[in-house]
Structure 1
Amino acid sequence: MRFNFTKEIPRVYDAMLSLDATITQANPDRRLVHLTKIRVSQINGCAYCVNMHVKEAQQDGLPDMLLHLVAVWPETSVFTARDRAALAWAETLTRLEGSEVSDADYAVARAELSTQEVAALTASVAMINLWNRMATGARLPA
């Protein structure tokens, strides 16, 4: 581990925990939150977060088959239309790479999710991207 941000910047860490708890409360569909946190963490190469979120998803009863296949979700039929919309939205927001989020991407999300769900999921994806960057920067072990 390079550094322990809970010790080096405890106020920032506490604020992140508080914001994360608020965002979690805004997302009533835990399944979508688990799947998107795992997928975003995979994209960002954050082994610590993938490990943690897979365990949390298992504790909440998500089937192992889903957890094994989330990395290849477009290639399998085990995910619901809502899952697919959430995963596509999460990937779009995570893979910005200098591009904008298109109306077409938003329309895919809105086809399955309410405006409130898209807003809450957007906050959740932003939060896990922040956690991933903190964990990979600190090089937290899986």
Structure 2
Amino acid sequence: MKVRLNHLSVSPGAMQVMLKLEGFIKTTGLDEKLYELIKIRASQINGCAFCLDMHTRDSRKMGEKEQRIYLLSAWREAPFYTDKERVVLELTEAVTRISEQGVPQDLYERVRAHVDEAEYVAIIMAINTINAWNRIAISTGMFPAEEKNEL
């Protein structure tokens, strides 16, 4: 596989804009582990191998359990997620696939039962940011580096 282009060198300003989005999310107080779950789930939907590799690794470094990472694509059938995580994952799916049905009112209300308006906006920004990263990585041909097995 070959990267199509190095977006960092071609347009450093674009990277700065993306980093400002990440910086904004950090100021919101959004739980970092929840943000990683959002990143992984959106990246699964979008088929972004580069981001999946990065965020599953980051999640492990934060102490996330392997089982929760492995089962994230089947979160509805797995009992390892809190009610808040479940509605945020559902919102992540709805926003990532926004053209299919938008964000239904009942989903909005279920999310709002767990978060205030400010956290709702933080979650929406988090979902939008990882979707933007996914689209950058996929359209520029980014792919994960192969892990070296050390014995």
With normalisation by structure 2, the TM-score equals: 0.89
Shift of 1:110: 1.1
Larger CA Rg, structure 1 vs 2: 2
Q: How far apart are the structure 2 equivalents of 1:39 and 1:24?
A: 19
Write out per-residue CA displacement over residues 37-89 of structure 1, whole angstroms, 9 at most, x where no aligned residue.
Answer: 10000000000001101111111111111101111101111111011011011
Which range is displaced more, 102-111 or 52-61?
Answer: 102-111
The count of aligned residue pairs is: 142
The AA in structure 2 aligned to 1:46 is: C
User: Do 2:22 and 2:129's aligned partners in 1 also have CA atoms closer than 8 Å?
Assistant: yes
Structure 2 unpaired stretches of 5+: 145-151
User: Do 1:41 and 1:47's aligned partners in 2 also have CA atoms closer than 8 Å?
Assistant: yes
Q: 1:65 to 1:30 in 2, by over 3 A?
A: same
RMSD across aligned positions (CA): 1.2
With normalisation by structure 1, the TM-score equals: 0.94
Aligned to 2:103: 101
Shift of 1:98: 5.1
- Residue 62 (str. 1) matches residue 64 (str. 2): yes
Aligned to 1:19: 21
Q: How far apart are the structure 2 equivalents of 1:47 and 1:14?
A: 23
Q: How far apart are the structure 2 equivalents of 1:42 and 1:120?
A: 21
Which range is displaced more, 97-106 or 84-93?
Answer: 97-106
Q: How far apart are the structure 1 equivalents of 2:123 and 2:61?
A: 21
Shift of 1:100: 2.7
Which structure 2 residues correspond to residues 1-142 of structure 1 after superposition, within 5 A?
1-97=3-99, 99-142=101-144
The AA in structure 1 aligned to 2:137 is: A
User: Do 2:25 and 2:122's aligned partners in 1 also have CA atoms closer than 8 Å?
Assistant: yes
Aligned to 2:148: none
- Runs of 4+ in structure 1 off by over 4 angstroms are none
